[in-house]
Structure 1
Amino acid sequence: MTNQTRLASADELESIFQRELVSDRWAATETAYALAVRHRDLGDWPKSREWVEQCLRLLEGFPSETEEQVATGRTSVGGVQLPTYLHAGVVQERFGNLG
């Protein structure tokens, strides 16, 4: 578990993502979003875009008809604030259209 007073590094977040991907795909989706934010904040636009795309791919596997289905389970990952609801529209609003 990362210390909540310190921001996790991108490498730490990637390690968390890899563990979550096999055990909890929704948590992995949240972490992919956090990685996109972290790389954007570091100014690494290509890496941020990769994680946005990964987040969107993972989101495709989840229903999104109700607020309960898109509600995030955590408020932050590795010190990165998560949105209250996580779906493709939110990701595109925060990162722009990748198309």
Structure 2
Amino acid sequence: MTNQTRTASADELESIFQRELVTDRWAATETAYALAVRYRDLGDWPRSREWVQQCLRLLEGFPSDTEEQVATSRTSVGGVSLPTYLHSGVVQDRFGDLG
């Protein structure tokens, strides 16, 4: 993983996501969230929606009964701040209609 606080391009984040998807699905979920934020900030709504949906699909595979189960393992990915807890409710709250 690259420096977590350095601003990464969307292409770099997508490359990181592909590697993490094979090695660490929770990290990939966090990176999908970061990609949704990055594309939203760039004003690319279709790509942001695509990553919101990818994040939500990945979240379906994880338990979410306790705070410990939904706590993020990093504070940021590629310069994008992550929420303290990552679950479908947080994603829906942050992205609204994109979800």
Q: Tell me the TM-score range normalised by the shorter chain.
A: over 0.9
The number of residues matched between the two structures is 99
Deviation at 1:6, TM superposition (A): 3.3
Structure 2 runs not aligned, ≥5 long: none
Which residue of 2 is the match for residue 40 of structure 1?
Answer: 40
Aligned structure 1 segments of 4 or more residues deviating by more than 6 angstroms:
none
Is 17-26 or 5-14 further displaced after alignment?
A: 5-14
Quick one: distance in 2 between partners of 1:5 and 1:92? 25
Kindly indicate whether residue 66 of structure 2 is the aligned counterpart of residue 78 of structure 1. no
Q: TM-score, with normalisation over the residues of structure 2?
A: 0.95
Q: TM-score, with normalisation over the residues of structure 1?
A: 0.95
Which residue of 2 is the match for residue 24 of structure 1?
Answer: 24
The answer to whether the Cα contact below 8 Å between 2:21 and 2:28 also exists between their aligned partners in 1 is: yes
Deviation at 1:2, TM superposition (A): 2.9
The change in CA–CA distance for 1:45 and 1:23 in structure 2 (over 3 A counts) is same
Q: Percent same amino acid among aligned pairs?
A: 89
Which residue of 2 is the match for residue 96 of structure 1?
Answer: 96
Quick one: distance in 1 between partners of 2:44 and 2:93? 19
The answer to whether the Cα contact below 8 Å between 2:63 and 2:69 also exists between their aligned partners in 1 is: yes
Structure 1 runs not aligned, ≥5 long: none
CA RMSD in angstroms comes to 1.3
The change in CA–CA distance for 1:5 and 1:30 in structure 2 (over 3 A counts) is closer
Give a deviation string over 1:43-86, Cα, whole Å, max 9, x none.
00000000000000000000000000000000000000000000
